[in-house]
Amino acid sequence: MIYAIISEDVANSLDKRLAARPAHLARLEELKADGRLLLAGPHPRIDSEDPGSEGFSGSLVVAEFDSLADAQHWADADPYISAGVYARVTVKPFKKVLP
């Protein structure tokens, strides 16, 4: 099944985010290589693809997992959590309708 992992950053998370980014991206690349990643990316704090020093307010990952528990377990192990980037992470089932 498909799950949405919706994460919200703590304030002033950019430096922490940049430090943990290689490990975070490596896990996403594993999902991609397994054919389970539908999309992933951050939410810029401002209306710009490159928010510069404004940074990001959170992230979205949409991927396939065997169960909600598996998706939650994967989300809980994100390097952004151990680095203190995320204030809150919500994992919920997602039903793709379009495209």
Strand positions, DSSP E, 1-99? 2-9, 37-44, 56-64, 86-94
Tell me the pLDDT band of 98, cut-offs 50, 70 and 90. very high
Class of domain 2-94: alpha beta
| End-to-end Cα spacing for the chain | 17
Per-residue pLDDT tens over the stretch 9-32:
999 999 999 999 999 999 999 999
Per-residue pLDDT tens over the stretch 32-59:
999 999 999 999 999 999 999 999 999 9
